[in-house]
Amino acid sequence: MKFEIKSWINGGVLFSCETESLKLAVELAVKSHANLSYANLHNANLSYADLSDANLSYANLHNANLSYADLRDADLYNADLSYANLSYADLCAAKNVNKNRCTPLLVLCDQPGKIRAYKLVTEKGVGPFCGGIFYEKGKTYTVADADCSEAQCAKGISLATLDWCMNEWQPGYRILIAEFTAKDIASIPIATDGKFRVKKCKIVGEKNLKEIGLIT
């Protein structure tokens, strides 16, 4: 099957080849050192793609699936990453990423005073993925050496938006309400889908799962 990677500016063909998928075509373009600046990759499924060293400046990656993609040393200057799925993507040394254009949760950094978000836990009160801390209402928790990098998942207290918690929820899970301040934030990863890390927070409550429609 023939795939063409076109410019979203003028429709010109930046790279073409015959292969099995658009993902493989993009990987071949990168390996061939093709200039993919202004490439139209809107809605592209590039999960697990090797895009290291790619020139994706001004590329349209709106709503693209870049989960687990290798973006090391990629040039993402002014690339449109709005609504892109970058979960577990390797952005180590990625160049010219303007996280202000694709990370709505950065609004948290400008909030005065106390901020509230949510913590998904199991029935026993520990995180469902890595665990380690037993969360109880009324208690304050601190991870002094929380990871401040752009890693999507790393050391720290993972909090999230309510919709993220609801999407990841499973029977038996609970959603706690956590309170923190802007200075407690360790990392809001680039283009996060709703999850971020803090160094310190206090558990101040718990959502009623019936009220938010998770159970009947």
The domains located in the chain, with CATH, are 1-100 (2.160.20.80), 104-206 (no CATH)
Nearest to 177 by CA among 105, 127, 135, 117: 117
Residue 170: the pLDDT is: 96
Residues 6+ apart with CB under 8 A from 108: 115, 117, 182, 185, 188, 196
Residue 102: the pLDDT is: 81
Residue 143: the pLDDT is: 96
Q: What is the mean pLDDT of residues 21-28?
A: 96
Q: How many percent of the chain have pLDDT more than 70?
A: 100
Examine the pLDDT at 100 and tell me if it is beyond 90. Answer: no
Task: Please state whether the predicted TM-score (pTM) of the whole model is above 0.85.
Answer: no
Token pair belonging to 183: 């200075």
pLDDT tier at 12 (50, 70, 90 boundaries)?
A: very high
Residue 91: the pLDDT is: 80
Residue 152: the pLDDT is: 77
Residue that has been written with the tokens 């948290």 in this structure: 108
